[in-house]
Amino acid sequence: MRGNSVAEGWKFSSDRKAAVSLTQEYIYDFSQGPRGVNVILLGAGGVATIGRYDGVPEFWQCWAPLPRTRKDHVCGVCGAVSALKCGCEAKK
């Protein structure tokens, strides 16, 4: 386990099989949800996937927007600050 998870905005689920957000929740109303773009979808079997909502509410139970990339990411190798990981960090 790394760091203080509560301070970082997440905790372990009660069965300790997942890390869950303390601030974000799934959205159950599909009527105002985006179409044709990637979101996190929770299926009837309880499995989450990234995909596009196809208008079949009988299978998809709820959705959530994708998390955004932190703008203050600092590369652990070269120290570069960018929204995306720099190429040298991938070589670690």
pLDDT in 10s for each residue of the chain, 92 residues:
454 566 678 898 899 888 889 999 999 998 878 888 999 999 999 999 999 988 877 889 999 999 876 666 677 777 777 656 566 655 54
Distance CA 45, CA 91 (A): 37
| Number of domain units in the chain | 1
Please check whether residue 73 lies inside any domain of the structure: no
Q: Would residue 78 count as lying in a domain? A: no
pLDDT of residue 38: 94
- Let me know if residue 47 belongs to a domain: yes
Domain that holds residue 51: 33-63
**CB of 80 within 8 A of CB of 71?**
no
Q: Is residue 49 part of a domain?
A: yes
In a domain, 42, yes or no: yes
pLDDT of res. 3: 46
pLDDT at 42: 94
In a domain, 89, yes or no: no
Asked if residue 46 belongs to a domain, the reply is yes
Residue 82 lies in a domain: no
pLDDT at res. 6 = 66
pTM of the model: 0.66
